[in-house]
Amino acid sequence: MADAWFEAARCSLDEFRAIVERPTDIDDYPHASRSEQGVVIYDAAALTPSKECLGEIAEVLSNGPGIVVLEGAVAPGTIDAATVAFESIIDGERETKGEVGDHFATAGDNDRVWNALEKLAIADPDVFVDYYANDAIALASLAWLGPNYQMTSQVNVVNPGGKAQQPHRDYHLGFMEDDVAEEYPAHIHRLSPLLTLQGAVAHCDMPIETGPTMYMPHSQKYDAGYVAWRRDDFKEYFAEHHRQLPLAKGDAVFFNPAVFHGAGTNRTADVRRMANLLQVSTAFGRAMEAIDRRAMVRAIYPSLLARLDAGVDRACLDRAISASAEGYAFPGDLDADQPVDGLSSPSDAAIVRRALDERRTPQQLDEQLKEPTP
C-alpha cells in the first residue's frame, strides 16, 4: 500500500535519483523543436492552441521532464516597454520601502515587485494589454489549468553578485515548512502541483553567467519531494546535477511547481537579470460561497474567550476557529507582509489562536486583523 503520509526522515535519495536520471526522449514530443539538457524546447511562433498541442505540453509538465521553454514567446518591443514600466516601479518602491524581502534568497540581493500584475495594469494599461494578450502565455496556462485560470506575477531582478536561491519547490506545499507539509496526506502532495503553473519571462538575455534558473528535470515525479527538498543530501545532489539553460530576451519558461529549481548566482559585474515570474492558478481554488470570515471571527471571539475561561477543552475551540477564521495565509498582500522571516505571514486563524492564548480583548484582536482584501 502506498504511503498515506510523507515524512522528510523517510525520503530516499536513491528513489529520487532513479526518477530524475531517466533521459528525456524528444520523439515523445512531435511539436517540439529540440531537447536541451533534458528540457523540451518549442518555437512559440509554431504552436497552436489545438488539443494535440495543449495535450503534449501537459504531458511534458506532468509525466515528462516537467519544464518547457517557449522561444520568442513575447515580442522584444513589448518586453522593452514593460521593462521600462517595471524599472520605474522598482525605483519608486526603493525610495519609499527600502529593502524588499524574497522567498528563497537573501533580502537585498534582489529587487522585487510584488503584485506586478496589478501594478503594471495601473501604471501602463496599454503595455499590460499588449503583454498579457500574448498567445504563448495563454497556451501554456490553458494546457496545464484549462480555462478561467487566475494570473499573478512578481518581477524579480537579480543584481550583479546576487547569490543563488536554495533549491526548492513552489506554492502551495512548497511554501510550507516540513513539519507543516507533513500534516497533509500524501494525496494532497500529489494534488498540489495540479493547482498552479510556474512561469518566467526573460526581460533580458540570460547567458549562464547571469544565473538563469537551475532545474532538476523529472523531479516533479518524486511524490515526497515537498518534504525532501530541505534535506542536505537532496541539496547536495541538486548542486551537482542540476540543469541550467540560457534564455534570450522574450523567451518564456514554464514548469510544474513540483520541479526542484532555484535561481542561479549572477556572476556578472553589470547585468541586472530581470524576469517576470508568472504564477497561474486554477479557477477551482475557491470556496463555494462568499463568506465574510472576519465578521464571523469578530462575532464569536467573545464566546471563545468565555468558554476558554470556563475550562472548555482548547481542542474544541480550535475546531470552531477552523470553521470560521481564514486558515490559509494566501492570497496575501506581500507588499505589506513581505516574507523576510518566513515564507508567509500568519493566517487569521493563527492570529485568533494566539489572541486566545494571550487572553487578548476583542478590541486587541480587531487591531491585529488586517482590513479585508477588497
Q: What is the pLDDT of residue 353?
A: 92
Mean pLDDT, residues 26-41: 97
Classified as helix, coil or strand, 154 is strand
Separation between Cα atoms, residue 66 and residue 109, nearest integer Å:
28
Separation between Cα atoms, residue 194 and residue 248, nearest integer Å:
28
Q: What is the pLDDT of residue 324?
A: 86
Q: What is the pLDDT of residue 260?
A: 98
Q: What is the pLDDT of residue 336?
A: 59
Instruction: Kindly report the average pLDDT of the chain as a whole number.
Output: 90
Phi, psi for residue 257 in degrees, rounded to 5: -65, -10
Separation between Cα atoms, residue 120 and residue 86, nearest integer Å:
7
Asked if residue 100 has pLDDT above 70, the reply is no
Q: With the C-alpha atoms ordered 339, 343, 345, 351, is the resulting torsion angle positive or negative?
A: negative
**Nearest Cα to 22, choosing from 65, 59, 57, 61?**
65
Mean pLDDT, residues 209-228: 97
pTM attached to this predicted model: 0.85
Asked if 213 and 161 count as a contact pair (C-beta separation under 8 A), the reply is no
289 pLDDT tier (thresholds 50, 70, 90): confident
Classified as helix, coil or strand, 92 is helix
Phi, psi for residue 154 in degrees, rounded to 5: -135, 125
Domain ranges of the chain: 19-281, 293-368
99 pLDDT tier (thresholds 50, 70, 90): low
Separation between Cα atoms, residue 295 and residue 311, nearest integer Å:
25
**DSSP secondary structure string for all residues of 181-224:** HTTS-HHHHHHGGGSEEEEEEESS-B-GGG-PPEEETTGGG-GG
Q: What is the pLDDT of residue 285?
A: 85
370 pLDDT tier (thresholds 50, 70, 90): low
Asked if residue 340 has pLDDT above 60, the reply is no
pLDDT in tens, 42-89: 999 999 999 999 999 999 999 999 999 999 999 999 999 999 999 999
Residue 271 C-alpha cell reads as 547585468
In the CATH hierarchy, which fold is given to the domain comprising 19-281? Jelly Rolls (2.60.120)
Q: What is the pLDDT of residue 282?
A: 93
Asked if residue 323 has pLDDT above 90, the reply is no
Dihedral in degrees, nearest 10, Cα atoms 79, 94, 269, 244: -50
pLDDT in tens, 125-136: 989 989 998 999
Residues 6+ away with beta carbon under 8 Å from 293:
324, 325, 326, 348
372 pLDDT tier (thresholds 50, 70, 90): very low
